Structure 1
Amino acid sequence: MTTATDLTKKLALSLLALRVGIFIVMFVWALDKFVNPGHTAAVFENFYGIGDLSAPLAAVLGGLQIALCVAFVLGLWKTITYGLIFVLHGVSTLSSMPQYVDAFNNLLFFAAWPMWAACFALFYLRSYDRYTLGAAKQS
């Protein structure tokens, strides 16, 4: 029989796994802004309608995203960091609507939806996410 304590531990471990998995994706996207700023500029132009994004601005955005990702993976300021990750990934997911219409030529875009659902679940259940540096200060 599973006790409430066992369930709480399993939930906390599951939320940690979600947080680490989401971090990996978001962190690699942040690194891409440094490694390939041309790709970042193309994404901003094609998906957000923002043209002429410079390499220095891409680096600034990447630095901000890395800072957010580190705070997120450490579980700091959960309402803010988990919420920002959810919103940022949501904007990215929703801005890709034309790719979903041409589904079979853009299958990889569909991976964004379960990740966005994971971001929501983590945000919604953040008070149960115990394996964090911010665990003592629940938000």
Structure 2
Amino acid sequence: MTDSKLKLSLFAIRFTLFLFFSVWAIEKFIKPETTVAIWKAFYLADTLPLQASYIIGIIQSIAVLCLLFGVARFWSYGFFLLIHGVGTVLTYERLLDPYTGSNHLFAAAIPVFGALVALFLLRDEDTLFTIGNRK
């Protein structure tokens, strides 16, 4: 694979992950009650206040912009790898039973996790349209 194809491929992964995670970041502001419900169902946080959704949304929005522009790649890519990995593990029951209800939608987490692993491992090669951290 040529260097330019690798860089373009990594940018494609980074950009599509940005789009994917932006949906969740924006949701924190426009439907904060969904964040509270998700945390209650999956993270056992029965008392998460509605205002916490906005704080989580701000953090996630900053992180998603860092992801888009390749800023602090070890930390920004690692952040999404960690939170998505934890979220995926916490939904293991739905992954093990994909044909009940809409559980099959949780299977989308698996290739997203794979893309995050690849992007994290190849972060030093990911320099197309990035800010800082150039090789």
Report if TM-score (shorter chain) is over 0.5: yes
Structure with greater proportional helix content: 1
1:68 lines up with 2:63 in the alignment: yes
For 1:119, which of 111, 116, 120 is the aligned residue? 116
Identity percentage of aligned residues? 33
Kindly indicate whether residue 19 of structure 2 is the aligned counterpart of residue 20 of structure 1.
Answer: no
Q: Which AA in structure 2 matches 1:115?
A: V
What letter is aligned with 1:61? I
Write out aligned runs for 1:24-63 (5 A): 24-63=19-58
Deviations 1:1-24 (A, max 9, x none): xxxxx6111000000000011111
Q: Name the counterpart of 1:133.
A: 131
User: What CA RMSD, in Å, does the superposition of the two structures yield over aligned residues?
Assistant: 1.1
Given that 2:72 and 2:133 are in contact with CA atoms closer than 8 Å, whether structure 1 keeps it comes out as no
Question: Is 1:109 equivalent to 2:81 in the alignment?
Answer: no
Distance 2:50 2:22 in 1: 18
Separation in structure 2 between the aligned mates of residue 71 and residue 88 of structure 1, nearest angstrom:
15
Q: Is the 8 A contact 1:129 1:135 kept in 2?
A: no
CA–CA distance in 2 between the matches of 1:108 and 1:134? 36
Q: Which has the larger radius of gyration?
A: 1
Structure 2, unmatched stretches of 5+, are none
Judge conservation of contact 2:77–2:119 (CA < 8 Å) in 1. Answer: yes
Q: What SS does the corresponding residue of 1:104 show, helix, strand or coil?
A: coil
What's the TM-score once normalised by structure 1's chain length? 0.91
**SS of residue matched to 1:11:** helix
Using the TM superposition, give the Cα deviation of residue 130 of structure 1 relative to its aligned residue in structure 2, in angstroms.
1.4
In 1, Cα distance between equivalents of 2:9 and 2:112: 14
Aligned AA (1:86): L
Name the count of aligned residue pairs.
132
Quote the offset at 1:51 in angstroms. 1.2
Contact between 1:78 and 1:134, CA under 8 Å: does it hold in 2? Answer: no
For residues 44-100 of structure 1, give each alpha carbon's deviation from its aligned partner in whole angstroms, at most 9, with x where no partner exists: 011111112222111000010000000111001011111111111101111101111
Shift of 1:134: 2.2
Residue 135 of structure 1 deviates from its aligned partner by 4.5
SS of residue paired to 1:129: coil
